Amino acid sequence: MSNDNTIDYGPLEELIGVWKGDKGMDVAPEPDGAEENPYFETITFSAIGDVSNAESQLLTALHYRQIVQRQSTGEIFHDETGYWMWDAKAGVIMHSLNIPRAVSVLAGGEHSGEKEKDGGTLLSVSASLDSPDWQIIQSPFMRDNARTVEFRHQIRVGDGKLSYSETTMLDIYGKRFEHTDQNELVRQ
Ligand code: HEM
């Protein structure tokens, strides 16, 4: 692993920094339906360098920490961490995430490294229990009672602004639930 300042983070470069946003909206499952939770948050992406695997794959990586607080009370109700990684040669981006419900995801997607027409960057990754490549790991309790079956995440970043939209499909309370989160953030 190395972390000198010549490293090319490609499509992840624009994420580096501290971001804050207060327009978040979470739609979460409840036994009798859905609950909407407006939120504000801070996401910190740190450049951590590059990593080589099996002497043939080279990844550049960012670590991130996401702290999400309820608009109504300020309570932290979602705490997430993980890495974003870019494999320039394969044209693949990867997003690993961990949440303290004992659920972990390794989502992936293609990325050529090219910018969008408007000069911004679009990052799109997904994982699913049916995927041969990008998977979800969860505790036996969550598998049996609140199973994450699919995860999709899209980030648009450019010009000091970041917006994302995230969908987590859950099997909970005897039905399939679309748990969604979205927000717009500004670089600090
Ligand atoms: C900004 C991001 C997120 C926020 C604010 C958020 C918030 C919430 C809230 C409020 C609940 C309901 C909790 C309860 O009623 O006790 C919930 C449930 C859940 N979330 Fe999230 N979530 C986020 C992202 C995620 C992600 C990325 C995953 C997994 C990939 C995830 C997995 C789950 C699971 C499995 C449950 C069901 C547990 C339960 O309702 O008791 N969430 N989330």
> Looking at the domain assignment, is residue 104 inside a domain?
yes
> Looking at the domain assignment, is residue 2 inside a domain?
no
DSSP-based helix, strand, coil % in the chain, nearest 5:
5, 70, 25
State residue 71 phi and psi, 5-degree precision.
Answer: -60, -40
Q: Which of 19, 12, 103, 31 is nearest to 68 (CA)?
A: 19
pLDDT at 6: 85
CATH, residue 50: 2.40.128.20
> Looking at the domain assignment, is residue 71 inside a domain?
yes
Provide the number of structural domains found in the chain. Answer: 1
> Looking at the domain assignment, is residue 1 inside a domain?
no
Q: Tell me how crowded residue 156 is: count the other CB atoms within 10 A of its CB.
A: 18
State residue 11 phi and psi, 5-degree precision.
Answer: -70, -10
- For residue range 30-82, list pLDDT tens digits in order: 999 999 999 999 999 999 999 999 999 999 999 999 999 999 999 999 999 99
How far is 178 from 182, CA to CA, in rounded Å? 13
Mean pLDDT of the chain: 97
Q: Does ligand 1 lie within 6 Å of residue 177's CB atom?
A: no
Number of residues assigned to the chain: 188
> Which structure tokens are listed for 10?
């490609």
Residue with CA at minimum distance from ligand 1 atom 38? 146
